[in-house]
């Protein structure tokens, strides 16, 4: 696998970190229980008032983790395409689909859990969440598997040629 080092160097890692942290902070404030989450408050089915301190702490840790993953997903959406393109022997379509799939795998959790909290036990709402998120995550996994297989095939195709090239150089 050949990695284009120039593509990696041109990514502004500090900007990506700033975007990650700013988006994560905003997402944390906008969770259903956050001060900016008024647009999707918890459903009455969710017994927030009955939660123990440890349960609230565990949900807070989960919210922080999901918010950071959401921020990282948005930063990857903005800055990550050159990384995917740098290692990609794939077509433009598969390379872009891989970029979007990685973004979705990172960023969906914050929205997913927020909707679970907001919708509660409504079966129609739960079915919408399950299909909207779980099926698209499966599709993202298939895209990444195809991308990975493309990388492996490229590596296998390159290896014999590289061996032959090195053999010719050694013979001279």
Q: What is the pLDDT of residues 82-128, one digit of tens each?
A: 999 998 778 999 999 999 999 999 999 999 999 999 999 999 999 99
Q: Is 120 left (phi over 0), alpha (psi -120 to 50) or beta?
A: left
Domain count, the chain: 1
Dist CA 162 CA 24 (whole Å): 44
pTM over cut 0.85:
no
Instruction: Give me the domain span that covers residue 24.
Output: 5-171
Q: Whose structure tokens read 């807070």?
A: 60
């Amino acid at each position: 696998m050949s990695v284009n080092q120039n593509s990696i160097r041109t990514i502004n890692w500090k900007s990506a970190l700033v975007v990650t942290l700013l988006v994560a902070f905003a997402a944390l404030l906008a969770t259903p229980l956050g001060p900016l989450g008024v647009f999707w408050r918890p459903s009455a089915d969710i017994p927030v008032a009955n939660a123990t301190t440890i349960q609230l702490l565990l949900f807070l840790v989960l919210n922080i983790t999901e918010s950071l993953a959401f921020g990282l997903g948005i930063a990857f959406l903005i800055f990550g395409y050159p990384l995917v393109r740098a290692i990609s022997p794939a077509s433009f379509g598969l390379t872009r689909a891989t970029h979007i799939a990685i973004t979705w795998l990172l960023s969906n959790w914050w929205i997913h859990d927020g909707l679970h909290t907001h919708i509660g036990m409504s079966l129609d709402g739960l079915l919408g969440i399950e299909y909207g998120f779980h099926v698209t995550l499966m599709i993202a996994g298939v895209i990444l598997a195809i991308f990975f297989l493309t990388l492996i095939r490229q590596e296998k195709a390159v290896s014999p040629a590289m061996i032959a090239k090195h053999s010719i150089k050694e013979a001279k």
